[in-house]
Protein backbone atom coordinates (compact mmCIF):
# COMPACT_ATOMS: atom_id res chain seq x y z
CA UNK A 1 0.00 0.00 0.00
CA UNK A 2 1.23 3.49 -0.80
CA UNK A 3 1.17 6.03 2.03
CA UNK A 4 1.21 9.66 0.92
CA UNK A 5 1.62 12.48 3.43
CA UNK A 6 0.19 15.85 2.53
CA UNK A 7 0.10 19.32 4.00
CA UNK A 8 -1.86 22.40 2.99
CA UNK A 9 -0.45 25.69 1.76
CA UNK A 10 -1.89 28.91 0.43
CA UNK A 11 -1.45 29.69 -3.24
CA UNK A 12 -0.45 33.18 -4.42
CA UNK A 13 -4.19 33.90 -4.61
CA UNK A 14 -4.61 32.81 -0.96
CA UNK A 15 -6.51 29.64 -1.89
CA UNK A 16 -5.88 26.51 0.16
CA UNK A 17 -4.10 23.80 -1.82
CA UNK A 18 -2.93 20.29 -0.97
CA UNK A 19 0.84 19.79 -1.26
CA UNK A 20 2.48 16.36 -1.25
CA UNK A 21 5.19 16.05 1.42
CA UNK A 22 6.34 12.50 0.79
CA UNK A 23 5.22 9.06 -0.25
CA UNK A 24 6.33 5.57 0.70
CA UNK A 25 5.28 1.95 0.42
CA UNK A 26 3.87 0.21 3.47
CA UNK A 27 3.38 -3.51 4.04
CA UNK A 28 -0.29 -3.47 5.14
CA UNK A 29 -2.62 -3.56 2.14
CA UNK A 30 -5.58 -1.72 3.69
CA UNK A 31 -6.74 -0.05 6.86
CA UNK A 32 -9.97 -1.96 7.38
CA UNK A 33 -9.54 -2.53 11.13
CA UNK A 34 -8.28 -0.47 14.08
CA UNK A 35 -5.34 -2.81 14.68
CA UNK A 36 -3.97 -2.15 11.17
CA UNK A 37 -4.43 1.59 11.59
CA UNK A 38 -2.67 1.64 14.97
CA UNK A 39 0.18 -0.48 13.63
CA UNK A 40 0.66 1.83 10.66
CA UNK A 41 0.47 4.97 12.82
CA UNK A 42 3.07 3.59 15.23
CA UNK A 43 5.36 2.38 12.42
CA UNK A 44 5.15 5.51 10.28
CA UNK A 45 4.52 8.32 12.81
CA UNK A 46 5.68 6.75 16.12
CA UNK A 47 2.29 7.81 17.49
CA UNK A 48 2.61 5.91 20.76
CA UNK A 49 5.95 7.59 21.55
CA UNK A 50 5.08 11.25 21.01
CA UNK A 51 5.68 13.57 24.00
CA UNK A 52 2.79 15.88 23.06
CA UNK A 53 -0.64 15.24 21.57
CA UNK A 54 -0.81 14.97 17.81
CA UNK A 55 -3.92 14.53 15.68
CA UNK A 56 -3.73 12.87 12.26
CA UNK A 57 -6.29 12.52 9.49
CA UNK A 58 -6.47 9.50 7.21
CA UNK A 59 -8.47 10.25 4.07
CA UNK A 60 -9.64 7.04 2.43
CA UNK A 61 -11.45 5.70 -0.61
CA UNK A 62 -14.50 3.43 -0.48
CA UNK A 63 -12.31 0.36 0.16
CA UNK A 64 -10.60 2.03 3.17
CA UNK A 65 -7.34 2.41 1.28
CA UNK A 66 -5.69 5.68 2.28
CA UNK A 67 -5.50 8.37 -0.36
CA UNK A 68 -3.77 10.82 1.95
CA UNK A 69 -2.53 11.37 5.49
CA UNK A 70 -2.27 14.70 7.25
CA UNK A 71 -0.88 15.83 10.57
CA UNK A 72 -3.75 18.08 11.64
CA UNK A 73 -2.58 19.47 14.95
CA UNK A 74 0.29 19.31 17.41
CA UNK A 75 -0.74 20.30 20.89
CA UNK A 76 0.54 20.14 24.43
CA UNK A 77 1.14 17.25 26.78
CA UNK A 78 -2.60 16.75 27.36
CA UNK A 79 -4.56 18.66 24.71
CA UNK A 80 -4.77 19.45 21.03
CA UNK A 81 -7.41 21.60 19.33
CA UNK A 82 -9.23 20.11 16.35
CA UNK A 83 -11.76 21.95 14.23
CA UNK A 84 -14.20 20.32 11.83
CA UNK A 85 -13.33 22.84 9.12
CA UNK A 86 -9.70 21.73 9.00
CA UNK A 87 -10.78 18.11 8.59
CA UNK A 88 -13.33 18.66 5.84
CA UNK A 89 -11.25 21.10 3.78
CA UNK A 90 -8.63 18.37 3.41
CA UNK A 91 -11.15 15.61 2.76
CA UNK A 92 -12.90 17.60 0.05
CA UNK A 93 -9.66 18.67 -1.63
CA UNK A 94 -8.60 15.01 -1.89
CA UNK A 95 -12.05 13.73 -2.87
CA UNK A 96 -12.17 11.32 0.07
CA UNK A 97 -15.05 8.87 0.49
CA UNK A 98 -14.44 8.26 4.20
CA UNK A 99 -11.96 9.09 6.94
CA UNK A 100 -10.38 8.16 10.23
CA UNK A 101 -9.06 10.52 12.88
CA UNK A 102 -6.22 9.28 15.07
CA UNK A 103 -4.58 10.95 18.03
CA UNK A 104 -2.23 9.96 20.80
CA UNK A 105 -2.32 10.32 24.56
CA UNK A 106 1.22 10.96 25.84
CA UNK A 107 0.10 9.75 29.28
CA UNK A 108 -0.06 6.27 27.77
CA UNK A 109 -3.71 5.82 28.78
CA UNK A 110 -5.93 5.68 25.67
CA UNK A 111 -9.16 6.24 27.60
CA UNK A 112 -11.15 9.06 25.97
CA UNK A 113 -11.52 12.38 27.78
CA UNK A 114 -14.67 14.51 27.81
CA UNK A 115 -13.06 16.68 25.14
CA UNK A 116 -12.33 13.59 23.03
CA UNK A 117 -15.99 12.55 23.30
CA UNK A 118 -17.23 16.04 22.38
CA UNK A 119 -14.84 16.26 19.42
CA UNK A 120 -15.91 12.85 18.14
CA UNK A 121 -19.59 13.73 18.44
CA UNK A 122 -19.02 17.01 16.58
CA UNK A 123 -17.00 15.31 13.81
CA UNK A 124 -19.60 12.53 13.45
CA UNK A 125 -22.40 15.10 13.06
CA UNK A 126 -20.41 17.08 10.49
CA UNK A 127 -19.52 13.86 8.65
CA UNK A 128 -23.19 12.90 8.43
CA UNK A 129 -24.05 16.32 7.01
CA UNK A 130 -21.15 16.26 4.53
CA UNK A 131 -21.80 12.68 3.42
CA UNK A 132 -18.22 11.61 4.16
CA UNK A 133 -18.44 8.94 6.86
CA UNK A 134 -16.23 9.04 9.93
CA UNK A 135 -15.14 5.39 10.03
CA UNK A 136 -13.32 5.64 13.35
CA UNK A 137 -11.60 7.90 15.84
CA UNK A 138 -8.72 6.06 17.44
CA UNK A 139 -6.75 7.09 20.52
CA UNK A 140 -3.30 5.54 20.82
CA UNK A 141 -1.63 5.00 24.19
CA UNK A 142 1.57 3.21 25.18
CA UNK A 143 0.59 -0.36 24.41
CA UNK A 144 -3.16 -0.08 23.91
CA UNK A 145 -5.68 1.90 21.90
CA UNK A 146 -9.30 3.00 22.07
CA UNK A 147 -11.50 2.73 18.98
CA UNK A 148 -14.74 4.72 18.99
CA UNK A 149 -16.06 2.46 16.21
CA UNK A 150 -15.56 -0.61 18.40
CA UNK A 151 -17.58 1.18 21.09
CA UNK A 152 -20.36 2.28 18.68
CA UNK A 153 -19.16 5.89 18.88
CA UNK A 154 -20.22 6.16 22.51
Q: Please, where are the H alpha helices in the chain?
A: 34-45, 84-94, 114-130
Confidence of residue 30 (pLDDT cuts 50, 70, 90): confident
Express each pLDDT in 121-133 by its tens digit. Answer: 999 999 999 999 9
Domains of the chain: 2-151 (3.40.140.10)
Q: How many CB atoms lie within 10 A of CB 105?
A: 24
DSSP 82: -
pTM (2 decimals)? 0.92
Q: How far is Cα 56 from Cα 69, in angstroms, rounded to an integer?
A: 7
Q: Please choose, from the candidates 124, 122, 125, 126, the residue with its C-alpha nearest in 3D space to the C-alpha of residue 136.
A: 124
Express each pLDDT in 56-72 by its tens digit. Answer: 999 999 988 999 999 99
Amino acid sequence: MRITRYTTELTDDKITAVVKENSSNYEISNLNCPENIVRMMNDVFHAGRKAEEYVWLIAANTKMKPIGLFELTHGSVNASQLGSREVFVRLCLLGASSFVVVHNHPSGDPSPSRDDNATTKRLKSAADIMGIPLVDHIIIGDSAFYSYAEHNFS
